[in-house]
Amino acid sequence: MGAEHAILSSDDWQESQLSTGGTVRELGLEGAAFVGHSVSAMVGVLAARMAPERIGALVMVAPSPCYIDGDGYRGGFTADDIDELLDSLDSNYLGWSSAMAPVIMGNPERPELGQELTDSFCATDPDIARVFARTTFLSDSREDLKSVTVPTLVLECSQDVIAPREVGAYVHAAIPASRLVTLDATGHCPQLSAPEATNAAILDFLAAQR
């Protein structure tokens, strides 16, 4: 069956939000920097709202608050694209993993990176992966960006089929006083494909907060 086109709200992330916020409190952290990649960056946004006294900065690596195009917004996918993606995942998870991981990684000249991501996908319980993928690709957390009040770094890649540069620009514009850095990297996982540049950008941002 095709995926429903209804966009899921940030309430669908409540469990992750509560878990992350609870962990931050349990550790007794104050003014911590939350580093989140892709959809986890949006979990960080919600956690910062839940425990503002604990999280002092956000680092959003290749974030995307909404993956579906619409109303002048470009998320990178049409609703039909998402239908096809989720149908493929439902019918053949291992095949989907093998096909999608290299596309997500985006570095064909370095196939070992795509293989690393494929192995990670294939090691995940398919039932959990299906729920996670559906929640991720049908979510819309754009309104939550307005709640961010802490210093925020938005890290994007120069080429990313999952979160194109229009998404990075949108996130940057929606979060007051955020910093947008475009890495000279391709793919959706710069922490793997360009770790030195990613680390340098994060450390530079954090140093400026001291």
Catalytic residues: 38, 160, 188
Tell me the C-alpha distance between 35 and 76, whole Å.
23
Could you give the C-alpha distances from 193 to 17, 28, 169, in angstroms and in order?
A: 28, 33, 22
Strand order in the sheet with 32-37: 32-37, 55-61, 152-159, 179-186
The DSSP code for 141 is -
Measured distance CA(30)–CA(118) in Å, rounded: 36
Side chain identity, residue 135: T
Task: Tell which residue, 60, 76, 65, 48, has the closest CA to residue 178.
Answer: 60
CB 183 within 8 A of CB 168: no
39 vs 48: CA distance, rounded Å: 15
Q: Are 148 and 175 in contact (CB under 8 A)?
A: yes
